[in-house]
Amino acid sequence: MVVYSEPFDKKILFELQTHYFGDMVKGVVDVAEKKIALDAEMHADLESLLLESGSRQENLWGINLYPEMDGEDFLEFDSLINIRPNQGNRSRGVEDPATRDAITEIVKTLCK
């Protein structure tokens, strides 16, 4: 597991995708701290790593990255950690458009 708060080369994702799933890398984005944790079998492991480093639960959102894809197919909003009825998010996706936009912008900024 690794955490990025500074831009990194997208080529790293090609290496990470082979660790667990072959074509995807799981990630958790902290929308307040503008950082991303990558490379675990479960989003919950990445979530725990960020929580231990001071992130707040309500700012963490699970995603999947597909390094071989471009555009909308590169980033998927799907994780069990996203189910948060108390925040108005009742699905594995990210229902709030502003939060989705923030996540997308952080991923674009960090993953070059």
Tens-digit pLDDT profile for residues 17-38: 988 988 999 999 999 999 999 9
| CA atoms in the 13 A half-sphere facing the CB of 12 | 14
| pLDDT for residue 9 | 96
d(CA 38, CA 40): 6
Question: Percent of the chain scored above 70 by pLDDT?
Answer: 100
d(CA 24, CA 91): 21
- Phi first, then psi: give them for residue 5, nearest 5 degrees: -120, -5
Mean pLDDT, to the nearest integer, of 56-69? Answer: 97
Sequence ranges of the domains in the chain: 2-110
Task: Record the tokens describing residue 95, joined without a space.
Answer: 């229902």
| pLDDT for residue 102 | 98
pTM of the model: 0.95
| pLDDT for residue 105 | 98
How many Cβ atoms from other residues are within 10 Å of residue 112's Cβ? 9
